[in-house]
Amino acid sequence: MQYTTLGRTGLKVSVAGLGCGGSSRLGLERVGKAHASGMVRAALDLGINLIDCARGYGTEEAVGEALVGIPRDSYVLTTKHLTIVDGHTLTPDEYVAGFNQSLRELRTDYVDVFFIHGLNLARWDHAINDILPALLREKEKGKFRFLAMSESPNQEPKHDATIRGLDEDLFDVIMLAFSLMNQNARELVFPKTVAQKVGTLLMFVVRDIFSHPEMLRDTIAKLAAEGKVPADLVGKDNPLDFLIHADGGAANILDAAYRYGRHEPGADVVLFGTGSVDHMKSNVASILAPALPEADRAKVRELFGHLVNVGLENWRNK
Ligand SMILES: NC(=O)c1ccc[n+]([C@@H]2O[C@H](COP(=O)([O-])OP(=O)(O)OC[C@H]3O[C@@H](n4cnc5c(N)ncnc54)[C@H](OP(=O)(O)O)[C@@H]3O)[C@@H](O)[C@H]2O)c1
């Protein structure tokens, strides 16, 4: 494993972070709770020390069980909570109660990083004016060490709330969307996180678009029809097959996607979600692999650098 410092938090974190959400949720629904706990143990065995949870993922109990007996200072635990759940705007008391329930399920007294989950400008005033003061009282009690936000990429593909959070210097860590076909954080976010030493966790590096070949083909065809990508990418099994070759090229599209995210300047941790130990092992191998060849990176930037709001939705046929 490779480790890095998560910005001004000073936390030493693995560059690959285990996402306990996404559509896989550690395989909790597909396989079961013992399997989900086993996924966490398998991650620790691979040297992953950053485990990303959320109240809404339903996996905190499984994570808590997996971590029994493991020294608390040997891993970095994060969780998050939405400010609006199923259309209900949480009161500060409800929000804090949810956070405390997370701590109980995770079987810990504190998390290292707490994220306001899926923050966007529409939720901003309530989150910052109403929820945050109550949350900071929990921080004073030692229940979390660093405050963070995760963005809401589908609603704000140009990172509006993230940018506001950085401009107001509210957060020590940001979780943001970045991928082969969603690169605008390079101009909009990373210059600020780097300057302010704010830690970054990347999500949506693979998601559905790079794990469902039909979604990639469908997306490319739609973008080509709109004149946003060259028409010669259409009609291929893998429209990004130019990335797959010998001499340092990618082994497959997921390998390309993880390596692309990992080596973006400003990226600290690449999150991945999976319900499969085999997938986990190959994802970690990709995240630890060298950068894609410079010519490939340049081509990805030339072809897709201008795209906004691509690959952020779920695949419709799932
Ligand atoms: N707003 C937020 O706060 C927010 C939003 C989204 C995500 N997140 C965080 O980021 C983490 C990652 O989520 P993500 O949105 O980036 O998507 P993701 O969960 O990483 O999606 C990856 C998808 O690809 C599949 N996959 C993974 N490795 C594979 C492999 N080697 N071969 C084939 N398929 C593979 C997974 O299914 P399999 O189970 O079959 O492997 C999954 O469907 C989440 O778990 C969560 O912690 C946070």
**Rounded Cα–Cα distance for residues 234 and 236 (Å):** 6
Average pLDDT on 267-272 reads 98
231, part of any domain? no
Q: For the chain, how many structural domains are there in total?
A: 1
303, part of any domain? no
7, part of any domain? yes
Q: Alpha carbon of 15 to those of 12, 263, 269, 309: distances in Å? A: 9, 10, 4, 25
Residue 227 burial (10 A CB sphere; 0-12, 13-18, 19+) = exposed
Taking 60 as the threshold, does the pLDDT of residue 318 lie above it? no
Q: Alpha carbon of 69 to those of 108, 111, 220: distances in Å? A: 11, 16, 47
Taking 90 as the threshold, does the pLDDT of residue 112 lie above it? yes
The string of pLDDT tens digits covering residues 207-238 is: 999 999 999 999 999 999 999 999 999 999 99
Closest Cα to atom 13, ligand 1: which residue? 22
Q: Are 253 and 15 in contact (CB under 8 A)?
A: no
223, part of any domain? no
Whether 39 is in the pocket of ligand 1, judged by its Cβ within 6 Å, is: no
Q: How far is the CA of 19 from the centre of ligand 1 (A)?
A: 7
CATH number, position 35: 3.20.20.100
127, part of any domain? yes
Q: Provide the residue type at 212 as one letter.
A: H
The string of pLDDT tens digits covering residues 119-133 is: 999 999 999 999 999
Hunting for tokens 């085999």 — which residue is that?
278
206, 253, 269: which to mutate for ligand 1, most atoms within 8 A of CB?
206
229, part of any domain? no
Percent residues over pLDDT 70 in the chain: 99
By residue range, what is the domain housing residue 39? Answer: 3-212+255-292
242, part of any domain? no
247, part of any domain? no
The string of pLDDT tens digits covering residues 139-186 is: 999 999 999 999 999 999 999 999 999 999 999 999 999 999 999 999
User: Tokens representing 184?
Assistant: 């605008």
Give the model's pLDDT for residue 156: 98
Whether 17 is in the pocket of ligand 1, judged by its Cβ within 6 Å, is: no
Closest Cα to atom 41, ligand 1: which residue? 274
User: Tokens representing 246?
Assistant: 């010998």
The mean pLDDT value of the chain amounts to 97
Q: Are 269 and 4 in contact (CB under 8 A)?
A: yes
Taking 60 as the threshold, does the pLDDT of residue 252 lie above it? yes
**Band of pLDDT at residue 317, cut at 50, 70 and 90:** low
Give the model's pLDDT for residue 316: 75
